[in-house]
Each structure stands twice: as structure tokens, then as C-alpha cells.
Amino acid sequence: MPTSQSEVLPAPDGPWMGVVTGRVLSGGAPVERATVALWAATAAEPVQLGRAVTGADGGFTIDSTGASATDASLYLIAQGGRSSADATEGDNDRVALITVLGSEPPSRVVINELTTIASVWTHAQFLDGTAITGHALGLRIAAGNVPNLVDLTTGGLGPVIQDPLNSSQTTTLATFNTLANLLAGALTRARGDACDEFFAAATPPGDTAPTDTLTAAQNIARNPSHHAQELFALLDEFYPVPDGKLWRDVPFVPYLSFAPSAWTLSLVYAGGGLNSLGGIAIDGEGNMWSDNNFLGGAQSTIWGQFGGGVSKIAPNGRPLSPMTVGFRGGGIDGPGFGIAIGADDKVWATSLRAKTISVFDRKTGEPLSPETGYNFDGRLGSMQGIITTPNGDVWALDNEESQIVHLPEGDAAKGRILGRTVDDKPVDGTLEVKGPFHLAVDQQDRIWVTNSSDTVTRFPADDPGKAEQIKVGFVPRGVAIDSLGNAWVANCLGHPGTREKLALVKNVLKSKVESHRGSASKADDEAQMWVDLFNTVAKYPGGDVSMVRPDGTVLPPFDGGNSINGPWGIAVDGNDNVWVANAFGRSVIQLCGARLENCPPGAKTGDPISPPGGYIGGLQIITDVAIDPAGNVWVANNWDRPDEGFKKEPDPALSTRFGGNGTVVFFGLAKPVKTPLIGPPRAP
């Protein structure tokens, strides 16, 4: 019998011409008589370039004459046929598998359960049945992450999911294999009704059951916490532990021993100077930029930090900045939460330690600011949030001195300081902020600033004197604006309900040192403030999110189903759903936003979409969250061992572990947004 039967289809002229040879496997065994089609995905409808039918060894060869466009992403779909591992007779017409190859496919590939799970989860926002459609950048990002999970040439595990950070420090590897085992159980009909059971558990909320395995996988990826327990139970149904054995006879190991709360896939990316990430931002090519509070490898504590620089990480996790120190110069030293990217290819960052504003070239990482940064002749204190606005202005916050810095069109020579206080009295107009932390701009060109108290300050960008104070929760941190103009605010301490907590909060909220006894003493006071804040959250866990409508109306706070604890950063995706960096809960919380049509059936604004406790996986104490053009959710690991970092002399063996390690990326969970994020989110 021939290996395969191939048919070449006419295709438009394109950059790629060649032959794709491969095998279709299921349960580790060849799939015979499967129809394999090669497709080119773009922003338009996908174009089929060729097809073949597999032989007895599962092999196929497709000879294509070209791709449909220079930005096309190629992928293979295998349907039907029968695996030699199938426990029943006859072909399985519900078989559907996928392998995404990207723009430059290898000459030899495999299509199996692992390639299907990797391709579906990374492309969850672009897949509809067997069709992949999307904008070029999003497809490139999604395809670029597939090889991190799976080896396209062998169908085995990819290199990143097996590295030390992801194989033994998270459950991603076991989750990935478990999903593949469940898919294999349905494909090989491990028991007579395996497909029916799998499809029932993979039915979306309020929808109908899928009719093929590829659609079932998409349903799980887009509704990862729905029927999570039921799906896990199928592992025992499909692969019970044989008598006298300790392990299940499954195609892929290791597998999960305990049911997950959600079937998410995330990877930890490290290197490039990443350490104790503060703020993060995504640039126009999908690269992630971060502020690094500390320098990796240094014995930093809250009492004495060795400040880090900024890092640039490619969409597939490859470091693009120097491995240990990241990008430095331009006045950067110990940046905090402030990082922003402008439309002019400039990356802006603020420093807590150096008390400066710095700017870098997005393409090269070279500093564009002077070696001392922009420090306004020493008038700035510890800096935090920074944004760029649609008109090119830059706004930054001085958390220590309660000031706002405005750089018209990003020109530091024209910069001005607003809201500066002396003896707690504003001296530059009527604008007043107290320990400002983060900021955002809305559709009406109004600036929203969170204060380290219980308010948000809002003012017209062209008339800061018309500022108004809006009461939210205690210690608001991140703020984000949705497409309807609503402001979402992460309240780190929420709305305390006890006198004891209020007393502690008042002590923590001292945003200025009462007396300037010298820099060392002042630094100690600031360090103690962070210790007090952490201990307050630890002793009285809680926190919530406020939504403020454009007219200033504040809705009752949302607590994520009592799952939010010390929230920090916050982001809005392309569906207007809200993502919260649940800092001390070590998770990410997804809330239903203001557009209910983009939420699960019956959900209301502010209801949690994520499972109780939020999405987890590789997360430490986190600060920021950002959405990229492929719908991936990037999260900043900020602290790892605060128990050591709060000591003036930590345990030597743990003395380099105060700062969090790397960034965590959850694949395909969110509706994509256009980056860089300048103003409210927009579709790519």
C-alpha cells in the first residue's frame, strides 16, 4: 500500500513553495486513511494549498505550489481515519487534529494530540472549527509559541515546557500531557462511549456538544474552568490503573494526579535581566518590556536594594536584552511600576531608587535620556506610574513627593511639575494628589490617578486645575479604562470593615516621612512602610476592584467571589473583560466587564469568570498584568521570598530570592488588543 495519496491544489502566488511530509499519530500509533489538508491562514478566509490521505503508517506527503500571502501562517488539519491503537473497528469520523507550522514549516512534521493541544491553546482567539483567521501579528505570536510546547518534527514535548522552570516548578507539563491523554482516549475510543463522554464534558456553557475532537479542544481552551472536574474524572474512565500497577497506561507522562481548577496552559519565561518585575508593557511587535526592581543575582532586601534595569522579551519568550543586567543607562536604577511605550518607538520608565524618568529606544534598547535621567534638578522623589497619551504627551507620577510630571509631546525640556506639595498644601494650582501610584487616560482626554489613600484624582489633561477626587477603596494601585470609558481600579486593601484594620491602614498610608533626618533614615522609613503594607495584607487578607463610570458614579466593589487579595495591576482586554493581578493571592482574576454579551451566560458586571482563587501556574507575588495581540495574558512575578527580603540580613542561601523570577504567560485566554496600549484598549 502506498504511504499516502496526495493532491496538489492551485494556490495564489506566495513566498512559500515546498513539500510537507509527515505522519498522523494518535495514542502513539499511526492513523490510517485520515485526510490531511494544508492551509494558509491570514486575515481573510484560509486557503487550502494541498491535501493527502494517510497510509498504513500514518504517513502523508503534500506538495504545495505556494502560500496565499507573505504574512500567511501555515497549518495542517487531519480528519477521520482510524488509529491502530483504536479499541474498536471502523474509521472514526469524529477525529480532527491540528498542527500549526507558522510561516516557515519544517520539511517533516507530526500531527498528534500534543500538537493539537499546543496549537489550539495558543490560537484560541483565532480558531473557529478548522479555520484559523486573524491579523498577521497575532498569528505570528501564536505560531511562535507552539514550538515551546511541542516539537513539530517529532510530536514530542518542546524545549521550554521541559526546562527547569516549567517542568518541575509548575503543573503546566502535567496539565499539557493530561489534556493530550484525554484527547487520545476519545480519538482511540479507549472505551465504547469515550467520544460521547469527552464531548459532554467539553460542551461550552449554554451551548451544544461538539461533534469532533478539534472543536472539543477549542471549547476547553476558551472555557478552561467549565466542567474542569468532569474532564479530569475522564482520565480514570479512559485509563484506570491496572491491577498490580502504580501508573496508568497512557501515551504521555507525567500526568496530573489532582484535578485542576482550570485547564489553562502557561509558561514561565526568564532571562534578559528579568528579576522582581514591577510594571510590564507590550510593544507594537508583541515584545514584553518590564521594569526590574532588583538586579538578578544580587542580595537585595527591602532595606537595601541593588537596582535593576529594563528588559525586553520576544513574544515567544526569547530574551532580547542582556541576560543579567537588562538594558541600563539613561538614569535607570531600581525602577518600580512605571513603564510605557509610545507610538514613536520610545520606551519610558521611572525609577524608585534613582528618582528619575528614563527613556529607551524600543528597537535597540539604547538609552535616549541623559546618564542622570530626567530628574528636574533633583526635585523628584521615588517615581511610580507613567503613561503615554494619544497626542504624544507623557505623564509620570512622583509617589514620594506627591507630584505629577507632564512632558508635552514627550519633550523633557518642556516638562512641568504639577501638584507639588509643601507641608501637605498644593503649590502648583489646585491639583492635589497623595502618594500617586498609577494612572490612565480616558476617551475624553481625562487623566485618572490612583492615590495611596482611598481616592482617585481625575482631571482634564488640558486643565489640571479642574481636578476632582473620587472615593474608591483603600490603597488603590492599578487603574485601566475600558472601551466604554469606565475606569477599573484595583484596591489593594479593599474596603476594610474592622476598626483594627482601619488603624493599621492609617499607619501604612503615610505617604511622606514626617521628618527628613537624612537619606539613610528616610530610606529605612520607606522600607518599613512596605513591610507594614505587606504585613497588613497578610494579617487581614482582602481587597477588591472598583468600577467608576464616566460620570463619576462608583459601583459597589467587586471581590472576585471572595478571591481577591491585595490586587495590584489591572488590564482590560478586547472584550472589555477585566484582568486583575491578584498580588498576594498569587493568581490572576478575570472579571466580567461592562459588555455582558462577552461574558458567560447569566454573568453580571464584576462577576468572576475565572475559577475560585483565579488562574494559577508559575505565579509568585505578582504586580502587573498585560494583554498582547494574540490574547496571551502576561503577568509580572515581583516577589518570591519576602520573608527573607524583609530581613536586614537574610539567610545567605536564600539571600538572592527576594525578587520574583520571570514573567508568566497564559496562552489564548483573553481577547487580543492592539499594542502598544495608548489609552483604552482597541482591537488589533
> Is 673 part of a structural domain of the chain?
no
Predicted local confidence at residue 68, as pLDDT: 53
Question: Mean of the pLDDT values across residues 154-162?
Answer: 98
Distance of CA 529 to the CA centre of its chain: 29
In a domain, 122, yes or no: no
- Does residue 161 sit within a domain? no
CA distances in angstroms from 206 to 121, 209, 219, listed in the order given: 21, 10, 12
Report the alpha-carbon distance of residue 122 to residue 264 in Å, rounded: 11
Least confident of 217-221, 536-540, 555-559: 536-540
> Does the pLDDT value for residue 539 go beyond 80?
no
Predicted confidence at residue 499, as pLDDT, reads 55
Name the DSSP letter for residue 190. Answer: S
Task: Report the b/e string of 460-483 with b at 16+ CB within 10 A.
Answer: ebeebeebeebebbbbbbbbbbbb
How many other CB atoms sit within 10 Å of the CB of residue 174?
18
pLDDT tens readout for residues 259-294 = 999 999 999 999 999 999 999 999 999 999 999 999
Give tens-digit pLDDT for 598-649.
999 999 999 999 999 999 999 999 999 999 999 999 999 999 999 999 898 9
Q: Write the CATH number for 76.
A: 2.60.40.1120
Cβ-contact 476, 384 below 8 angstroms = no
How would you class 423 by CB atoms within 10 Å of its CB: exposed for 0-12, middle for 13-18, buried for 19 or more?
Answer: exposed
**Any domain includes 521:** yes
Question: With bands split at pLDDT 50, 70 and 90, how would you rate the model's confidence at 514?
Answer: very low
Residue 414 domain flag: yes
Q: Percent of the chain, pLDDT > 90?
A: 83
Question: Could you say which of 102, 137, 172 is where a domain stops?
Answer: 137
Residue 17: the pLDDT is 61
pLDDT at 422: 59
Using CA atoms, how far residue 675 sits from 231, 625, 678, in Å, is 35, 14, 8
Residue 480 to residue 103: CA distance in whole angstroms: 35
The identity of residue 17, as a single letter, is: M
**If 0-12 CB within 10 Å is exposed, 13-18 middle and 19+ buried, where does residue 601 land?**
exposed
CATH number of the domain where residue 348 is located: 2.120.10.30
Give the tens place of pLDDT for each residue, 179-214.
999 999 999 999 888 999 999 999 999 999 999 999
CA neighbor of 538 nearest in space, from 504, 498, 572: 504
Per-residue pLDDT reduced to its tens digit, 562-602: 999 999 999 999 999 999 999 999 999 999 999 999 999 99
12 falls in which pLDDT band (50, 70, 90)?
very low
* 553: pLDDT strictly greater than 50: yes
Spatial CB neighbours of 197, under 8 Å, sequence gap ≥ 6 = 186, 191, 234, 237
pLDDT value at residue 501:
60
Q: What is the mean pLDDT of residues 339-347?
A: 96
- Model pTM? 0.94
Q: What is the pLDDT of residues 655-684, one digit of tens each?
A: 999 999 999 999 999 999 999 999 999 999
Position 385 in a domain: yes
Do the domain assignments include residue 434? yes
Residue-range definition of the domain harbouring residue 68: 4-114+132-137
Helix (H, G, I), strand (E, B) or coil at 350: strand
Task: Identify the weakest region by mean pLDDT among 295-309, 455-469, 477-491, 530-544.
Answer: 530-544
State the average pLDDT for the chain.
Answer: 92
Nearest CA to 199 among 219, 229, 177, 228?
Answer: 219
d(CA 482, CA 136) in angstroms, rounded, equals: 24
Asked if 235 contacts 254 with a C-beta cutoff of 8 angstroms, the reply is no
Q: Could you give the dihedral angle defined by the CA atoms of residues 172, 145, 310 and 587, in that order, rounded to the nearest 10 degrees?
A: -30
Q: What is the pLDDT of residue 507?
A: 58
pLDDT of 510 over the 80 cut: no
Nearest to 328 by CA among 353, 345, 301: 353
Interatomic CA distance for residues 272 and 313, integer angstroms: 7
Task: Supply the pLDDT for residue 536.
Answer: 73
Model pLDDT, residue 448 = 98
Grid coordinates given for 521: 533614615
Distance separating alpha carbons of residues 195 and 213, to the nearest angstrom: 8
Whether 22 has a pLDDT exceeding 50, the answer reads yes
Which range (22-26, 392-396, 413-417, 421-425) has the least confidence? 421-425
Q: Would you state the pLDDT for residue 2?
A: 36
DSSP E strand stretches across 298-393: 310-313, 335-341, 346-351, 357-361, 383-388
186 domain-assigned: no
* CA 108 – CA 18 distance, rounded (Å): 11
Residue range 228-255: average pLDDT? 96
567-572 sheet: strands from edge to edge: 567-572, 578-582, 587-591
Model confidence pLDDT, tens digit, residues 455-507: 999 999 999 989 999 999 999 999 999 999 999 999 998 987 655 566 655 55
Query: How many folded domains does the chain comprise?
Result: 2
Q: Please name which of 367, 371, 358, 354 lies closest in space to residue 307, comparing C-alpha atoms.
A: 354
Cβ-proximal residues to 187 (8 Å cutoff; 6+ apart), any chain = 26, 27, 83, 86, 92, 95, 97, 113, 213
